Chains A and B, each alone.
Chain A
Amino acid sequence: MSVTILRNAYLHLAVRLVLGSLFIWAGVGKAVAPLDFASSVYNYKLLPEFWVGVAAGVIPWLELLAGVALVTGVRIKGAASVISLLMLLFVSLLLTSWVRGLNIDCGCFSGVERTPGLVAISEDAGMLLGALFVLFLDRRQLNPAGLALRRLVRIGKRDG
């Protein structure tokens, strides 16, 4: 029974859309205020200054692109791989910061203040599970956005 649910195409689509939307939200929030995110990265006191700039400049776009890929159904396995790796990194970072007793904003989502702790770690672990689910179980049977895109391309070719 449970295996049947895991193979349900609607569940695959739902996980993809929820995870993709979360990452679009996270990515846009950070991309429009890069110095805010750089400030969060700096507060972890783990990276040298140059890498703070690089991480704060690139990670929001990585999240945004991976989110868009999941929602549109384009390159979903690649997007799920990127998100899995990011979440592994974030969970390790949050765990070490929790152990170090850092009382800082985790910088997880723009507008949501959260210190490194059980709640933030659980959220990221949940998203890691979602990404692994997409990576290993999603068979891409339902892809409405991709289907609409293909139809648009077909219409464009036919008319033009």
Chain B
Amino acid sequence: MHRGSRQNRPWRHLRSGPILPAAASALAITAIAMLLGGIVNHGMIVDGFNGRLTDRIRAKQLTELKAETQELSPGLQFVDLISARKLFDEKEAMFLDSREEDQYAAGHIEGALSVPLIAVLLGELDLDKLVAGRDAILVTYCEGGECPTSVDLARELVGVGYVNVFILGEGYPGWKAAGYPVESGAR
């Protein structure tokens, strides 16, 4: 009687079938991976918990972007946040936002112009009308090290004869994180 009722339990098929052993093995593999990954990468996980991981990632991406730029276009120059702020305060430079228009509208460096790279490449934007003098100081930026459009825009500008073109590698996220002036809205 007792044995019979045990055989009628609904999860009997699960225990004898392939699903439960596969699930148990999958859980075991996941647990070992969590243990090994947690031990080996505990520094990175702790940084993520403390809010320092994004800074590490952005710094790494910026280093890679600079190295790649130096390799492909050695003539292009980067400007750091403090120097960019100095140019901004002295109103010496024009800031050009190479991101998509919706990103620009969501937030950009105060006074910056929206110059989406794609619009420049398609000839939809006339750079001569936008920036008159070839010797004007131009600072291009996008989303930081993860995005190469500021470099590509700078390359385009240098290509058509602008001589004072700088790239703000930290981009809008770096500028905003530094507490520098920002604004939102379409151009």
Interface, chain A (partner B; CB < 8 A): 31, 34-36, 38-39, 42-43, 49-54, 56-62, 64-66, 69, 75, 77-82, 85, 104, 135
22 CB < 8 A contacts A-B: A31-B40, A34-B40, A35-B56, A35-B57, A38-B57, A39-B146, A50-B48, A52-B48, A53-B47, A56-B41, A57-B40, A57-B41, A58-B33, A60-B37, A62-B29, A65-B36, A77-B22, A77-B25, A78-B29, A79-B26, A104-B146, A135-B22
Whether B44 pairs with A57 at a CB distance below 8 angstroms is: yes
Query: Which residues of B have CB within 8 Å of A79?
Result: 25-26, 29
Nearest-Cβ distance from residue B24 to partner chain A, whole angstroms: 7
Say whether, besides A61-B33, A62-B33, A53 and B41 are in contact (CB < 8 Å).
Answer: yes
Nearest-Cβ distance from residue A67 to partner chain B, whole angstroms: 10
Q: How far is the CA of A62 from the CA of B41 in the complex (A)?
A: 13
Q: Top 9 A-B pairs ranked by shortest CB distance?
A: A78-B25, A53-B48, A57-B41, A77-B22, A58-B37, A81-B26, A61-B33, A62-B33, A75-B25
Query: Which residues of A have CB within 8 Å of B158?
Result: none
Q: How far is the CA of A60 from the CA of B46 in the complex (A)?
A: 17
